[in-house]
Amino acid sequence: MESWMQWLKKGLICNNKTFNLPWYQRNTMVPVPHLINDDRLRIFVTMCDENNVGRIGYVDVSPSNPSEILDYSQQPVLDIGADGAFDDNGVVTASILEDGNKLFLYYSGYQLCVKVPYMIFAGVAVSDDNGKSFRKISSHSPMLDRTTGEKSTRCAPFVLKEGGTYRMWYTADTEDGWINSNGKKLPLYDLKYLSSNSPTEWPRSPGKTSLTFKSRDEHGIAKCTLWKEADLHHIIYSIRSLSQGYRLGYAISKNGIDFERRDEEIGIDVSNSGWDSEMIAFAERFQFKDKVYLFYCGNHYGMDGMGYAELVSDTQEQ
């Protein structure tokens, strides 16, 4: 089948060697772009310390040429929580929602465990100054807490506002929870859907499954980016498998809830060599004027950095 999307890779933007920051020594995870103005695109991104504990900072780039770095955060804009909080061992970017004069930053909070490696639940922070600073809506408890069938993972929310309804696609564990692979516990999680009349308050009930595995090799569907064209919702997401680690997938839906997987049409894969030759993950689609970008992370869950690609053609009608 001919690919509907064709992405031209533009290269690496940054990794932990680009800036001299003591709190940014390892992974670069989940780039989330937000347009400050026509001359500045702020990419909120998780920067991990030497213990791989994430804090959220930003890299400012030129919107017309994201390879050009203009500035970067000297300190985190969102730090880990206090000991015992749901996000005391890392905060990881998920998505941005601009609603009126407020900017909502959705994120995932990590907490270490004993019988399973960790739990991940979603939080939200709000900015009243267009992303210069954020305050957490709740400093200790998550926005999405555990619920029936989703006991250790409810994270990575992508939120859109359609009319007066807030719609969320997020990652949650399946009822099986975890699997053992070569002596290591690996999580099982797929993509769920919720709706609300508030950007910060969501149903406690479990979400409806929107996307799940298509083979026994897959064990994770995570971090989506979604947009609407005509009467279709389009979604790009990360697929985690036992054989390949992370790759990107693509699906479509008429109602934004039940998706048809068309992974072969994604139009981007790992490179033959370099920073994204083993893994591509945690992508975010962003349109600036007539350009459409895909920001994403590379090898080792972003250890080798983040970069971007540009859409060069749409070659198949839906």
> What are the pLDDT digits (tens) for 240-258?
999 999 999 999 999 999 9
Can you give the pLDDT at residue 313?
74
Check whether 106 has a pLDDT greater than 70.
yes
Check whether 310 has a pLDDT greater than 90.
yes
Separation between Cα atoms, residue 208 and residue 118, nearest integer Å:
23
Residue pLDDT, tens place only, 178-219: 988 888 889 999 999 999 999 999 999 999 999 999 999 999
Separation between Cα atoms, residue 124 and residue 143, nearest integer Å:
7
Fold classification of 5-314 (topology level): Tachylectin-2; Chain A (2.115.10)
Q: Yes or no: say if 125 and 138 are a contact pair by the CB < 8 Å rule.
A: no
Question: pTM here?
Answer: 0.95
Check whether 91 has a pLDDT greater than 80.
yes
Separation between Cα atoms, residue 108 and residue 284, nearest integer Å:
16
Can you give the pLDDT at residue 182?
84
Residue pLDDT, tens place only, 50-77: 999 999 999 999 999 999 999 999 999 9
Ordered alpha helix ranges (H), the chain:
299-302
Can you give the pLDDT at residue 314?
63
Report residue 87 CA to chain centroid gap.
16
Can you give the pLDDT at residue 201?
97
159-166 average pLDDT score? 95
Check whether 318 has a pLDDT greater than 80.
no
Specify which residues 155 forms β-bridges with: 171
Can you give the pLDDT at residue 2?
43
